[in-house]
Amino acid sequence: MTKKRTRKSLRYLKNRIGIGESVILGSSVTLNNKELRFKNEPARHKLLDLIGDLALIGAPVKGQILAARPGHKSNVEFTKMLRKLYLQKKIEKKFQIMKSENCIFDIEAIMEIMPHRYPFLLIDRIIELEQGKRIVGLKNVTYNEPFFNGHFPIKRIMPGVLIVEAMAQCGFILVLNLLEDPSTKMAYFASIEKVKFRKTVTPGDQLVFEMYLQSFKRGICKIVGKAYRNFIGGEVVCEGEFMAAVVDK
């Protein structure tokens, strides 16, 4: 760095810090040759910054954290990741009473979150949940579904409107889990767009819903996703975009 650029940088630092005295870059590479209180004072400063940023998680951290040349920007991004994971585990612990393998929420936990009940609760299980981003749910379609009595007695086909409803319920579980107390809220349809039906659903099929949250502002959320038959990436049964208003019960 040239002397001219060095002087310019020092003037900039002087103005930012708000000091009136003259500023020089000392031989010890500190301003005005100020003595460090500790030999590793810069490292201690970085450590305190990291501890302070991690405190934003809102929960104690049990583990070992290694950081190379950390800064507030990288610390905050790391903290956001940990907080999202913490909130997800907190929600799972709150609603999932029984530990179930390969399951985030079973039907009992879903009933704690959702106001729907038989015969209109159309989600059996939540198997994946990325807080505020993505959710995957299951619906096992059996011969005993009440709607098959009339749709249709000869050729039993799950009504498309109920597939759409099941997709929306899955997405709304994702939205409601962003709230402090989801049990006090409900989600009402605001709009349904670009819905397309690709395949029929019959008894014995398993519907897999993969839904994404695109936006959630001022109580209005937008969710997009697809319903697959039997597994993600399989035959697409239905796809669409949904908007809903989240209101008090």
Considering only CA atoms, which of 200, 134, 193 is closest in space to residue 162?
200
8 Å CB contact between 10 and 24: yes
Considering only CA atoms, which of 217, 181, 212 is closest in space to residue 90?
181
Active site residues: 72, 151
Start-to-end CA span in the chain (Å)? 64
CA distance 128 to 153: 35
What's phi and psi for 150, nearest 5 deg? -120, 0
Paired tokens of 9: 């940088």
